[in-house]
Structure 1
Amino acid sequence: MEEEDEEARALLAGGPDEADSGAPAAPGALPALCDPSRLAHRLLVLLLMCFLGFGSYFCYDNPAALQTQIKRDMQVNTTKFMLLYAWYSWPNVVLCFFGGFLIDRVFGIRWGAIIFSCFVCIGQVIFALGGIFNAFWLMEFGRFVFGIGGESLAVAQNTYAVSWFKGKELNLVFGLQLSMARIGSTVNMNLMGWLYSKIEALLGSAGHTTLGVTLMIGGITCVLSLICALALAYLDQRAERILHKEQGKTGEVIKLTDVKDFSLPLWLIFIICVCYYVAVFPFIGLGKVFFTEKFGFSSQAASAINSVVYVISAPMSPVFGLLVDKTGRNIIWVLCAVAATLVSHMMLAFTMWNPWIAMCLLGISYSLLACALWPMVAFVVPEHQLGTAYGFMQSIQNLGLAVISIIAGMILDSRGYLFLEVFFIACVSLSLLSVVLLYLVNRAQGGNLNYSARQREETKFSHTESMQADGDMEVSWMMRTQKCRIILGDICFTLLKIYSNIKIHNGQGLI
């Protein structure tokens, strides 16, 4: 990355001679903010990447923030309410994978992000219209359309991150992206209820119309995501033109059959992801009523404590991302995060301790896991398969979320919150077992998933030296071959000259 930056700076400054001599930049040199090889420009791109997913994450948890209002205004029970999350996840069981495939093979990152942002906007509008027209089936359809774009947009966001920041910055970038996503979720949890009450006061009564108008106003954030997708597409194309390289492409072509070649460590990462997140998102979706019924919190206090996971995740994700960047040891950090989440759910299930403790622990562990787990995919798959790998990871995650959302609603309606918490504890325990297996498999195969930051740098340096050595050997071989050709040519020329002299001498003797 540093070598590419130096080359780009030399190009933009008028040539390597000027860059090395420290001479002033040429008149045509770009300002730092407009130069794709400079840090300032990459920070601008990172800001747009973060806001790319803001609207999607804000609107994803609209049902959780308005759980009481939706169940009352639309007259549905918990099982039907959880279908709003299930319908979001069902299309992504398949479409996330194909979204990643299309990013790699058909659309590219730019068009993929724009198209998926459009689906997010359209889906939120349909979801809001379902409330306005008192049609719960339309709300479900809106969540379906929203889901088509939401998770695939996250795949595009991850692929953008790897394309621009692959290397020692990647964990920090993932942490910052997660931070902005959690800010979106936090703002949603604490804003939508207040917004509903203001719309109710304006219209004079509560009801499905008030619900629909509230959701429509919340959809403005999705338009923000679309604007960021357009800006990113322009900047990415511009960087490709200026730096004379193709972003995120290797010249290799991804095939759907490549999935069967995914390694065992990658499959274990998938299992960890699914088993962990099904114990977090469905719980938050039902958490507001849980804190009201078990601990006696008011509706406002329950919303606040239910959002504390996202509140903590927003500032802590970049910190943990930087920590993982500096230390490495991704598997160990994932192990700590999953174990802490298990403790958190056990506290919520079997004690009456103040739930702020357990939820703060859950927020910390959730932030740590995301920063350590998701970048590991880039360590075990080739770059040309990244979109497909992340898409497949999102696909099976959404399969788990779709199934568990329905099961969670059924358990809650029939058995109550204690059985639901025991179920979540079982899911986290399976995730913990998968982390242990990943550690053992990685160690047996000599993988780099648990390398320290220093070991990764040394491995990268050794790989670079090896490539340079191979190149030197090839050049040396070519030079020796060329030398041999010259010697053979001289020999042939000398023999030909001797033969010509003999012929001339014989001819003169005959005369």
Structure 2
Amino acid sequence: MDSSRALKRVALLRGVALLCACSLSIGSHFGLNSLGPLKSKLSREKGTSSSQFGLLTAASALNSTWTPLVGGLLAARLGTSLSSIMATSIIFAGQLILLFGDLTGSVRIMVFGMFIFGLGVSPLAVVQETIIVRHFKDHGLGLSLALGLVAGKFASFVASRISFPLSQWNEHAPFFVSACLAGFSFCVNLFYLWYSKWMASELDRSSGISDDDALHEVSEKRKVRIGDLLNMGDVFWLYIAINVFCGFIWTPFFPIAPNIIERRYGLSEGRAAEESSLLHAGSMFLYPLCGYLTDVVKKRSFVHRLLLLSSVLTMFCYGWLSLSPTTTKTPLPAMISFGFGLGFSPLLLVIIVPHLVPTKYVSTALGAHKSIESSGSTMMQTLAGLALDSKKRTQAKSIEKVLNAFLTLNIIQFFGVYIMMVFDRRRRQRLLSQMPEAIQESENEALTAGAGDAERPGELHRLNSSPIVGSHMRRAVKEEELLVTASERMRGKVFLTLSALLILWTWMLFMICTLLEFPGTKP
């Protein structure tokens, strides 16, 4: 009887911890995705231009160009309690500033609020993962981490679905709800800290790992060592280039999609918000499904093919919207296709990393991936806003030009993924030729047996370097150093310099456009 009660108590402790971890990201995801359906309303009531709206949405991604590079290090230095309080309070403060800007009618203040908001997003991910790792390291870690991600995606879907109806009830309601949810996440964090100390003995017995130990484990796997980027080879830098184009075509479409389909198909604001909310629907069930499939199939080429499929699905969306509205009649097929394509593709960019670099380089590769993708996203959101405001063409022509740009960039991304797949296969063959003879024979036997690119059982390694990779993705690169040549290292220096210049240019573009759009004290 005592044993049964103890098991129930442990289950309750873990359940509360998981609920807290999932609740932390609700405020940030809701606030980030509630703006898109309000674009027309903000333009009508506050005179917000497309350029200003582009800066408003880009401001949240701007700090993600550098926070992933130092997030793990900062979290390790600050400790569990301080880093968690800082992350949630920064997001809450950003939402309060955004609300104040909405109440005063100052778009400039709203942009500043989103800028502050973006500072807390990456540290919050560290806190969320730390809580889950502490309590579920040996008890369903993968499923728990997936639930944490899905909770955020569900909040994004709800935000895109209800933000416009809320604005019809009260013009400031969406911003009040966003601020309240950010405050709720902050309060949940305070509750978890109190709960952890109050139940410290029970928590340590049930989890076998302390909060500080869990933070150390998570932060170590998020640390970025810039010098390691020179040892990753040409295929990795091709992957980084693809991330730029993924940043161009993925996130920037979310905030402008409702306005585009509203004007292109003559929909009401409410109908446009409803149909564009489907863009967020796919990830709620495709994230776990994609993770399961990649774990079961265990073929390195499978991830490449899934990424190609996602590119085709998003390409269909842009192609459909680029056609004449009199021909297509409805944007619904495009929204569904994009929702499915982006329902798993961001996860694939994480899952593919262990195929490209050894374990000790994974944290650095993931930090670079997120930083570069955020640079592409920030630039495209800023430039799309400028293009939609162009006075050289009509609004319909401006929208068509932006859609054609998305489609062109998507085509480039597709071919980039295909070229990466070919180069990765060739690199694999080169690695096999340089392996010890016994290992090479074993690999060849597996290939002959029809196992494709499956890994040998003795060489499988589980990763905890990211929420999804840590739970179900197997290693595909050997533990040794990548066999990169001296010329590859030289090219690595060039690519690293170009990446740094890209981030610098992203900040310069944002700041220049901000000064041009908000030259005075009024929006």
- TM-score using structure 2 length: 0.70
Counterpart residue type for residue 300 of structure 1: G
Partner of 2:21: 49
Distance 1:191 1:45, change over 3 A: same
2:52 aligned partner: 80
Instruction: Assess, with a 3 A threshold, how the Cα gap between structure 1 residues 33 and 396 changes in structure 2: closer, same or farther.
Output: farther
Q: Is the 8 A contact 1:155 1:394 kept in 2?
A: no
Q: Are the counterparts in 1 of residues 249 and 406 from structure 2 also a CA contact under 8 Å?
A: yes
Larger radius of gyration: 1
Out of 243, 247, 264, the residue aligned to residue 273 of structure 1 is 243
Question: Is contact 2:70-2:224 (8 Å) kept?
Answer: no
**Could you tell me which amino acid in structure 1 is paired with residue 257 of structure 2?**
G
1:340 aligns with 2:313: yes
Pick from 426, 448, 473 the counterpart of residue 444 of structure 1. Answer: 426
Change (3 A) 1:29 1:299: closer
> Does structure 2 retain, via aligned residues, the 8 Å contact 1:116–1:152?
yes
**Which residue type is aligned with residue 71 of structure 2?**
G
- Residue 215 (1) aligns with residue 197 (2): no
The number of residue pairs the alignment matches comes to 423
Distance 1:254 1:324, change over 3 A: closer
For the 8 Å contact 1:266–1:380, the answer to whether it is kept is yes
- The amino acid of 1:396's aligned partner reads I
Alpha-carbon separation, structure 2, partners of 1:98 and 1:306:
34
Q: Match of 1:455, SS?
A: coil
Which range is displaced more, 153-162 or 187-196? 153-162
Q: Aligned partners of 1:168, 1:333: CA distance in 2, in Å? A: 29
Aligned amino acid, residue 355 of structure 1: P
- Select between 116-125 and 337-346 the one with higher mean Cα deviation: 337-346
Distance 2:317 2:48 in 1: 30
Find the counterpart in structure 1 of residue 156 from structure 2: 185
Q: How does 1:9-408 map to 2 (within 5 A)?
A: 30-31=6-7, 34=10, 45-103=17-75, 105-107=76-78, 111-154=82-125, 156-157=127-128, 175-199=146-170, 210-211=171-172, 214-230=174-190, 238-239=203-204, 243=208, 246-247=213-214, 249=217, 255-328=225-298, 329-352=302-325, 353=328, 354-378=330-354, 388-408=364-384
Identify unmatched segments of 5+ residues in structure 1: 1-23, 200-209, 465-511
When structure 1 is superposed on structure 2, of 135-144 and 344-353 the one drifting more is 344-353
How big is the alpha-carbon RMSD for the aligned residues of Structure 1 and Structure 2? Answer: 3.9
**CA shift digits 1:116-147 (9 cap, x unpaired):** 22111100000100111222221111111001
TM-score (norm 1): 0.71
For 2:110 and 2:417, the matched residues in 1 are separated by 38
Amino acid at match of 1:71: S
Q: How far apart are the structure 2 equivalents of 1:375 and 1:170? A: 16
Equivalent pair of 1:268/1:438 in contact (CA under 8 Å) = yes
- List per-residue Cα deviations over 1:327-373 (Å, max 9, x = no partner): 23322211211122112211121254232112111111111213332
Q: In structure 2, do the counterparts of structure 1 residues 348 and 167 end up closer, same or farther at CA, with 3 Å as the change threshold? A: farther
| Equivalent residue number for residue 459 of structure 1 | 459
In the alignment, is the contact (CA less than 8 A) between 1:91 and 1:148 conserved in 2?
yes
Q: Closer, same or farther in 2 for the Cα pair 1:458/1:162, shift >3 Å?
A: farther
Partner of 2:160, secondary structure, is: helix
Residues 477-504 of structure 1, C-alpha deviations (whole Å, 9 max, x = no match): xxxxxxxxxxxxxxxxxxxxxxxxxxxx
> What code does the residue aligned with 1:75 have?
G
Instruction: Give 1:113 shift.
Output: 3.9
1:500-511 pair list within 5 angstroms: none
Q: Which amino acid aligns with 1:55?
A: G
Distance 1:140 1:430, change over 3 A: same
Change (3 A) 1:177 1:375: farther
Within 2, Cα distance between the matches of 1:288 and 1:77? 15
Q: How far is 1:293 from its partner?
A: 1.5
Q: What is the percentage of aligned positions where both structures have the same residue?
A: 21
Q: Please, which moves more after superposition, 315-324 or 106-115? A: 106-115
Say which SS state the counterpart of residue 257 (structure 1) adopts: helix
